[in-house]
Structures are given as structure tokens and as C-alpha cells.
Amino acid sequence: MPIHNADIAAIFEQIADLLEIENDNPFRIRAYRNAARTLRNLGQDVGDMLAGGKDLTKLPGIGKDLAAKIEEIVATGRCRTLDKLHKRTSPGLSELLRIPGLGPKRVSALYHELDIHTPEQLYRAARDGRIRALPGFGEKTEQHILENIEAHVQKDSRIKLATAAQYARALEAYLRQAAGVSQVTVAGSYRRCRETVGDLDILVCAGNDSPVMDHLILYDEVAQVLSQGRTRATVILRSGLQVDVRVVDKKNYGAALYYFTGSKAHNIEIRKLARKRGLKINEYGVFQNGRRVAGDTEASVLGAVGLPYIAPELRENRGEIEAAQAGMLPQLVERGDLKGDLHAHTKATDGHDTLKAMALAARERGLEYLAVTEHSRRLTVAHGLDQRRLLQQMEQIDELNETLRGITLLKGIEVDILEDGRLDLPDAVLGRLDLVIGAVHSKFHLSRARQTRRILRAMDHPHFTLLAHPSGHLLLERAPYDVDMPRIIRHARERGCFLELNAHPMRLDLLDSYCMLAREEGVLISINSDAHSTMDFDNLAYGVGQARRGWLEKKDVLNTRPLEVLRGLLKRTM
């Protein structure tokens, strides 16, 4: 039975949460969380690594004990440590942990002080005003808990795009093994590179005699079969993810792929265009007076209504049809356009690898330059650099650049933007760097006016280069802070600085609509990995997907420039 990295990471996070509720050793808790983060960001499947005889202790944050637990989970699908924890804790606590704003420490307080075990008990306690009296809570927190419980009950079940990719790729490869299958494509919001995915729509090109549906049902990860027919089946995977699989003839494949990629709003507008031409479009093709006139490819479907090909990421009915009619569709940025990465961390702070290892890994991914941007001193949890340690690293970078070939390291810092908008390091050291990334890591709940003023003041600093993860959200975990983003974008244009599109799968921040606004305002976006290990550079692909959703072209992206051109642009902000 296949076990994905996301499955193992989820188990380790559950262990860490339950240990924290029990007030266990904080170092032990942190070890599980670090291991979960490593697994989520790992580009290679650990099951394949074990099958290939690789030593898992070489991975960041994975020691002998955790490596043994990974082997156990891959082999059995279970972890005895988690089973023991479940036996001695209330089963409802895991559900409480899924409510936004309730971390393990707060759940522990609610559990031990008010004997709250379930979301229902929590809701009653908040409604009755019993939570506000607990240390660290208060009336506002109690109100937020009420709102979050209601939102949690109503929220659709979605997962991050990168997590969905682990299940999608494995199932895609499995379906290709069936006799008679010539093509398999994951469609829907996954193909449009939405930040989160609710389910998977998979199209299979195969003949009528293909046993692909029987093959699907035998997939080890299928936990439940909701329906099964000759051309369509719906299953639930062990992860809880729903998968709809459709078998389509080759002549209809393009029409079906277009139809099931969506979005719904985009498809409706395309069908309106078709009706004006006396055509009918559905998943089987394009028809005129009952005669099929197109449908073997997506391009043929669009061509039938007088349009050029529209990339999947654009199909959201946000002006792409009008742009296509006017011959103004963007030439979307591609992963191969990126020349470098302007946001990465090493072992000097909360990264897992050395300067040299990160440089070589970036070079292997085809990058020509890499900015090393450690956290600054205020972020103590990440062992942020003070002035002395930053100067030491700058010397190390200079020395390493003398020996490196094919890659250049740039000297930078991810400096905290303090509550009043000041930067967390003195000008004397910031002025010696190639770039300064400003980031908000605290005080997320400031009012819109105060948060906006804070960031604008930071951007006005003479050494400010780039605003990192501009909205501060963590997908499905933390809402964005309240800020006037259009004003931030316009100020970036006036100031001549840049905005980041953080490619980390937990962030994908900047929002696609704000990428579109930045493009209109002429503000360059830097697609950065925020890499904390050598494997994280692979996440740049998710950043490119988000950039494409935001209509960004190569010229709109800062780090598509060659190094010497980039240096000139960076100097203008310093």
C-alpha cells in the first residue's frame, strides 16, 4: 500500500500536537514538527528512497529514531507511538486542533482547565462566556473561537496544491499502467494551479475494451468506491480525497479535457460564444446541426469559436476571453525563464543545509544566482542573525563566490518589519548587502490602517528592496493580515521596490489577483522558493503556476533577468 510523504508528515504532526497537549519535552515536539516539514517539502518519495537503499538520516531533521518510525509507517501504514497517544488522550482533541486559531497550547489549556474534549463542548463554553477567564484568552479570543468554529463546520474540505500533487502523480502513473491507456491528465482546479484543491478530476484516454476502471478499483489507496461504470468512477482515497475518473475516446479527449478543466464561469462564457455561431459545446465535442466539427484537442475547441489557445491557469473568466479576442493574451512565464532565486536560508538560521550545499543545489536546478537571506535577530525562534553574525556570513559568501562556478551567491537578509515600520538591523550593515527583504512575522492582528502604515514606512527605508510573502497568510491555516494591498502595490511602484511571490506550498503568496494588479502597475514580482533546504528549490514550480494564474509574463518577473541586469535593478532600491 503506497504511503506518501504527506501521510507520514500528518502522522508526525499529530504526534507533536498530542505531545504538546500533554506538556511533553519541547525538544521532542520540535523534532517531530521539523521532520514533518522536511517530509512535506521533500521532492522525492521516501518510500522510493527506502526501496533504493538510501539513508533517511541524511535528510534534514531526521535522526535514527525518526527514520525508524518512517520505515515503520511505510511498511505498515501505522505508527505505534501515535496509537499509544490516541489511547491515552480524548479522541475529540484532534478535531479541536483543526479549528483555526487553536494551537496545541490553547487546546491543552481548554482540556486541562475546562475539561473540553470536543468542538461541541468548546462552542458551548465560548457561547456561555467561560473561556474568556482563562489566562491568555480573553473576550476577543473567545469571540474569534465562536466565529472559527462556525466557519470550520461550514468550510469545504480542501487540501494544498502540493499535497494534492503527491496523490495525483501517483494515481496518474498507476492508471497509465492499464492496458489500452494512451493518455492520463489531471484536470479541474488542479490543472488550473489553484492554491488548494477540493477533489481530483482525472481524464483517461482509452478504448472501450480497456480494463482501466477495474484497474482503478484495485488501487491500494482506494478506501471506498462511491460509483463505478464503464466510463466513469468515483472513489475516496485513504487520505479522504475524492477522485472522479472518466474514460474518454481519443476523438473526444480535447473537448473533455477543456470541459473538465473549467472553471465553470469560463466554460459558460465559451458556450455563449459557441451559441452565437450556431454551435454547441459539451464534453464530447463541438457540434453544428448535430454534426461534430471539433473536439480532438483543446485548441480545436477554442478555434471553433474563433479563439487562440488559452492556458489552463487563465481560465477563470477574468478577462482572458476578451484578451484572446483582441490578440492580447499574455505569454505566460515558465519555470525555465527563472535565472535565480532571491530568498533562501541556510543552517546559519532555521535552514538545514550549508551555504555551499544550497548554492550547488540551486545550480543543479538551472539557476545562475541565489540570494542568501537569513532571518534577522528579532526572529529568535529561527536563531536570527545579529549584525556581527551577518557580517561573518557576508565574508563567507565572498570567499565561496571565489571558488563557485556557474552560480553566484548574493548577500541579503530577511529583516523583520517591526510594529512601527522600522527594520530590525542598523543601516550600517543593511547598506552593505545586495538586497534587503522586509517581512512581517509578528503583530498580525493590527488594524488595516496600522498594518498598512507599518509596511509603507518599511518600504520607504532607503535600503528596502523586496516585500516578502506580502499578505502573511498560510494556506488553510492562517488568514492574511488586514492590509490595503492595492495601496502597497502602488507604493512599490512609486518607491521603485519589488514584491515577492513566495512559492512555498504553504504560502503561494502573492494572491493571483494582486499579481495581476502589480502587472498593471508595472511592479516587478520576484518568484522565490523561500528555500530552507536543498530540496525546496523544486517548489519554484508552484510559484510559477501561481504567477501564471496572475497573468505574469517573463518581463513582469524580477528574477528572470540575467545577473548583471538584476544587479542594476537592485541598486536602484538601495
Contacts for 133-141: CB closer than 8 Å, 24+ residues apart: 134/109, 134/110, 135/109, 136/106, 136/109, 137/106, 137/109, 141/101
CATH class name, domain 335-573: alpha beta
Contact 271, 258 (CB under 8 A): no
CATH class name, domain 159-248: alpha beta
Closest CA to 260 of 251, 241, 247, 273: 247
What's residue 92's pLDDT?
A: 66
pTM, entire model: 0.80
Q: 265: which 3 cell numbers?
A: 464561469
Separation of alpha carbons 202 and 199, rounded Å: 10
Domain ranges for the chain: 5-154, 159-248, 253-325, 335-573
pLDDT in tens, 366-398: 999 999 999 999 887 778 999 999 999 999 999
b/e sequence 219-230, b meaning 16+ C-beta within 10 Å: bebbeeeeeeee
What's residue 44's pLDDT?
A: 83
Residue 360: CB partners within 8 Å, gap ≥ 6? 407, 534
Fold held by 5-154 = DNA polymerase; domain 1 (1.10.150)
Q: 567: which 3 cell numbers?
A: 544587479
Give DSSP secondary structure letters for 423-491.
BSS-HHHHTTSSEEEEE--S-TTS-HHHHHHHHHHHHTSTT--EE-STT--BTTTBPPP---HHHHHHH
Separation of alpha carbons 389 and 391, rounded Å: 5
What's residue 288's pLDDT?
A: 96
* Spans in the chain with pLDDT lower than 50: 154
**CATH code for the part of the protein at 253-325:** 3.30.210.10
DSSP, res 404: -
What's residue 153's pLDDT?
A: 55
- Sheet with 200-206: strands ordered across: 181-186, 200-206, 242-248, 232-237, 222-228
Other C-beta atoms lying within 10 Å of the C-beta of residue 504: 23
Rounded to whole angstroms, what are the CA distances from 440 to 294, 445, 485?
A: 51, 11, 14
